[in-house]
Amino acid sequence: MTKFSMLLILIFLGINAISQEIETNHDLIAKGAKVTKVGGDYKFTEGPSVAPDGRVFFTDQPNDKIDVWSEKDGISTFMQPCDRSNGTYFNKKGELVACADLHNRLVIISADKQMKTIAENYNGQPLNAPNDLWIAPNGGIYFTDPYYHRDYWETGRKELQDKRGVYYLTPEGKVIRVIDDYKQPNGLIGTPDGKTLYVSDINDRKIWKYDIQADGTLSNKTFFAPEGSDGMSIDNKGNVYLTNKAVSVFDKTGKKIAAIEVPETPSNVCFGGKKRNILFITARTSVYTLKMNVKGIH
């Protein structure tokens, strides 16, 4: 065997070892736990968020509905229609905040299913269609506003904003644009201390990390991961969860530490259950759960 052949073998073994380390990193996953399908027959599941009691609310946008999953009772429908809600998140009052893109707005949905609009314009112009959101500890809301054309929009509907941006709705109700240089912003998540925001530029296949300033603006844009993501979550160890071909997990330094395979391509993820230790995955026509050793911090 030539030295060159031996070198190629060593390189291959090294790459394979790294791959195996990522694929088989089960420190995050509870012993013996497997990805389990808990619901199906959807068109496209998205936007999971955990309620104060541990139930997970998620959307099926093509069917214009929001369903809810609980450890005890399984899945039931919460609201239909729901203004084509996509991303959701619970605020400190226990109210469900949703990106409702039928009328390109951000809404609060009360327990009795009444909708209140909290954002629909920027600089006097309607938003494109809010997609995903994260609520900071101070109550301010970061949300992405890409442009995905919907067949249920009025004929002739076009892109409304000059940029596919990321916006911040201040606690006082003012909308400011905090990111305007992305190809297509999508998933985002922040740290529980309100100091760091992670945002996906899904079409550029990159995750960026920012420092959150006191006024809600962002600074110190830093490359975090070489993958795009539809949805995002974070655990109590600071690990960031991305959804693309699999559920990819990166530690706080930006090192990939796990890739959780799902039978269908995942779209979004959050931690649910009373102990917040169940990874809830929306994946096209189905939803899945996986018991974890770590917990979510929502």
* Secondary structure element (H or E) that encloses residue 241, with its range: strand 240-243
The residue assigned the tokens 């931690």 is 271
Q: Percentage of residues in the chain with pLDDT exceeding 90?
A: 88
pLDDT confidence of residue 13: 40
pLDDT confidence of residue 157: 85
pLDDT confidence of residue 43: 97
pLDDT confidence of residue 21: 40
What is the distance between the alpha carbons of residues 190 and 168, in angstroms, rounded to a whole number? 13
- What does the CA dihedral 236, 260, 240, 168 come to, rounded to 10 degrees? -120
User: What is the CA 48 to chain-centroid distance, rounded?
Assistant: 8
- The predicted model scores a pTM of 0.91
Question: Which is it for strands 256-260 and 286-291: parallel, antiparallel or unpaired?
Answer: unpaired
What is the distance between the alpha carbons of residues 230 and 284, in angstroms, rounded to a whole number? 12
**pLDDT per position as a tens digit, 124-161:** 999 999 999 999 999 999 999 999 999 888 877 889 99
Question: Which is it for strands 36-39 and 196-201: parallel, antiparallel or unpaired?
Answer: unpaired
pLDDT confidence of residue 16: 41
Question: H helices of the chain, where?
Answer: 3-23
What is the distance between the alpha carbons of residues 37 and 57, in angstroms, rounded to a whole number? 16
Name the band, by pLDDT with cuts 50, 70 and 90, for residue 2: low
pLDDT confidence of residue 240: 98
pLDDT confidence of residue 155: 78
pLDDT confidence of residue 130: 97
pLDDT confidence of residue 154: 83
**pLDDT per position as a tens digit, 39-91:** 999 999 999 999 999 999 999 999 999 999 999 999 999 999 999 999 999 99
Which of 79, 158, 160 is closest to 125 using CA atoms?
160
DSSP state, residue 201? E
- Going along the chain from its start, the domains and CATH numbers come out as 3-291 (2.120.10.30)
**pLDDT per position as a tens digit, 173-230:** 999 999 999 999 999 999 999 999 999 999 999 999 999 999 999 999 999 999 999 9
pLDDT confidence of residue 138: 97
- Given a cut of 90, whether residue 17 has pLDDT beyond it is no
